[in-house]
Amino acid sequence: MTWSEHAWATIEPIYHAIIAMPFIAELQEGTLPIEKFQFYMAQDSGYLEHFGRALALIGARAQDTDDALTFMRFGEGAIVVENALHESYFRDFGVTERGVLEPTCHHYVHFLKSTAALDPVEVAMAAVLPCFWIYKEVGDHIYAHQRASKNPYRRWIDTYAGEDFATSVRQAIGICDKVAASTTDEMRARMGEAFITASRLEYQFWDSAYRLVRW
């Protein structure tokens, strides 16, 4: 079993809890109240900026230059491509400003940035993996189960169910498996812990958007 297969098996209950969340079910049906999606969008815009910074930092710290380049490109993608996407979502969904990072987003981005800066780079790579992998699985799940012919959230769903994103996800998983294969059991366990923490925070991110949790 590869490191990533084992890691995914450990977060399977979290993933199932995520796809059972009202936020995801209502996104899929197109019935999610607009203010919950607006809250999510505004927080996610802040998230993506800091996620991009964390990815660039991991790129700078990666041992292998190909991996460094891949992570720098991930960072560019998060900041440039996804923020541009969010600008158009802001217009389409009537979000006027990003606002402050609310508690869950604040905690999540600071977990990612401190891990990227201070923990071994393998652990940092594992910490950002759920941001790729869970979104891919959730995007595929929603895409496969959607029934509404006119879903206002269709473009969002298509982004994460698309082939471009799938390619990045495969690359991120591949790099984690490669670095895991050449490190110690202790480091693999630390990678697993970081993967679980970020997966929990993915759950919290959607949950707090559904409940509109503010400071």
Which residues sit at the interface with ligand NSP, rule CB under 6 A?
44, 47-48, 131, 135, 202, 205
Residues 172, 58: contact at Cβ < 8 Å? no
**Which residue lies nearer to ligand NSP by CB, 116 or 131?**
131
In angstroms, give the least distance from the CB of 174 to ligand NSP.
17
**Which residue lies nearer to ligand NSP by CB, 7 or 188?**
7
Q: How many Cβ atoms sit within 10 Å of the Cβ of residue 123? A: 22
Residues 137, 18: contact at Cβ < 8 Å? no
Residue of closest CB approach to ligand NSP: 131
In angstroms, give the least distance from the CB of 186 to ligand NSP.
27
In angstroms, give the least distance from the CB of 205 to ligand NSP.
4
**Which residue lies nearer to ligand NSP by CB, 111 or 135?**
135
In angstroms, give the least distance from the CB of 182 to ligand NSP.
27
Any idea what the Cα angle at residue 33 is, between residues 87 and 94, rounded to 5°? Answer: 30
How far apart, in whole angstroms, are the C-alpha atoms of residue 61 and residue 97? 33
How far apart, in whole angstroms, are the C-alpha atoms of residue 139 and residue 28? 9
**Which residue lies nearer to ligand NSP by CB, 135 or 143?**
135
